């Protein structure tokens, strides 16, 4: 059998093509962008990265961050690039996270949060924080602060009305989790803006005393009437509802009047009600005033709306 000399250039081409496929697959998952630190982890040397950039196969967005094959990026691509520019522990945060969650408008700069202090760049505002695991998630493939953590972060800079609108928009888009936000606040009770945020939330659900009194009065009413015990604060059709009788397919929402009388909340409540009606669940809304003025009428409504099979 004749001796076949080893073709080193063919081996190099094969390895390069394999790396190109890996880069393309990674970029496809990341809105068209990759970071040098990711490519090194794939076994691609810094020199090989620079050669691809010089050949026009990688287009520099930030130092160490490249668009693959083309330089024009989507908004998500730009946000992903900003996160990658700050390393594997960085996440999208603040105004940029709100925009990615579709509950706020983007700012002129991209905002990212990292666990170690990093210098901001002309187009990126870097924040420093050690984030709880519950504060971090992924949306559209981009590491990002949770909705609850995003709201808490923005409470430091938004005035009362703007913060109220942010929460209402999150609720309207069915991305607001009051319990998650309460847990986030409990982890950082001294954070800037917490007092303002608590004031907004008190209007959203009624003050703590008002809210608990309304629930106590409702529990007492149904107990005196001998009705079966419902479920409280459970998820139905992706929504957290106050009171639910699954056997009757009936939800009762105990409304804090200050929030639920606002025009935005009026719309939000109707969207929530429509979502429940689509799965054949009836909804009864009860305010503290109605419970105080005419509890018998509330009981009559509950009995009238229950579905008995």
User: Is the whole model's pTM more than 0.95, yes or no?
Assistant: no
- Quick check: helix, strand or coil at residue 249? coil
- Closest among 291, 212, 282 to 252, alpha carbons compared: 282
Q: What is the pLDDT of residues 80-133, one digit of tens each?
A: 999 999 999 999 999 999 999 999 998 999 999 999 999 999 999 999 999 999
Mean pLDDT of 67-83: 93
pLDDT band at 263 (very low <50, low <70, confident <90, very high): very low
Check the CA dihedral 264-275-238-173 and report its sign: negative
DSSP state of 228: P
Predicted local confidence at residue 235, as pLDDT: 85
DSSP state of 85: T
Under a CB-based contact definition with an 8 Å cutoff, are residues 251 and 243 in contact?
Answer: yes
Predicted local confidence at residue 201, as pLDDT: 86
Q: Which residues pair with 296 in a beta bridge?
A: none
Q: What is the pLDDT of residues 160-197, one digit of tens each?
A: 989 988 998 888 787 888 889 999 999 999 999 999 99
Q: What is the CA radius of gyration of the chain?
A: 27
């Amino acid at each position: 059998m004749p001796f076949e000399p080893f073709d080193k250039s063919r081996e190099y081409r094969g390895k390069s093509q394999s790396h190109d496929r890996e880069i393309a697959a990674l970029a496809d998952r990341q809105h068209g962008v990759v970071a040098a630190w990711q490519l090194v982890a794939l076994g691609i040397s810094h020199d090989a990265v620079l050669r691809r950039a010089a050949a026009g196969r990688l287009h520099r967005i930030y130092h160490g961050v490249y668009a693959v094959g083309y330089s024009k990026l989507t908004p998500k691509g730009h946000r992903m690039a900003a996160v990658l520019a700050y390393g594997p522990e960085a996440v999208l945060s603040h105004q940029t996270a709100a925009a990615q969650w579709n509950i706020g408008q983007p700012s002129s700069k991209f905002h990212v949060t990292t666990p170690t202090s990093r210098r901001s760049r002309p187009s990126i505002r870097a924040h420093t924080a050690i984030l709880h695991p519950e504060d971090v998630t992924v949306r559209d493939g981009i590491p990002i602060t949770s909705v609850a953590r995003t709201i808490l972060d923005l409470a430091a800079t938004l005035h009362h009305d703007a913060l109220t609108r942010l929460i209402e928009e999150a609720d309207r888009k069915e991305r607001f989790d009051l319990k998650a936000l309460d847990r986030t606040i409990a982890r950082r009770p001294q954070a800037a803006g917490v007092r303002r945020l608590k004031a907004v939330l008190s209007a959203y659900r009624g003050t703590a005393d008002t809210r608990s009194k309304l629930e106590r009065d409702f529990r007492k009413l149904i107990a005196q009437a001998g009705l079966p015990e419902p479920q409280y604060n459970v998820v139905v059709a992706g929504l957290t509802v106050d009171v639910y009788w699954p056997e009757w397919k009936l939800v009762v929402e105990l409304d804090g009047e200050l929030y639920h009388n606002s025009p935005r909340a009026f719309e939000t409540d109707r969207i929530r009600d429509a979502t429940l009606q689509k799965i054949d669940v009836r909804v009864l809304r009860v305010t503290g005033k109605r419970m105080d003025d005419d509890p018998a009428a509330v009981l009559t409504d509950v009995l009238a709306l229950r579905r008995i099979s």
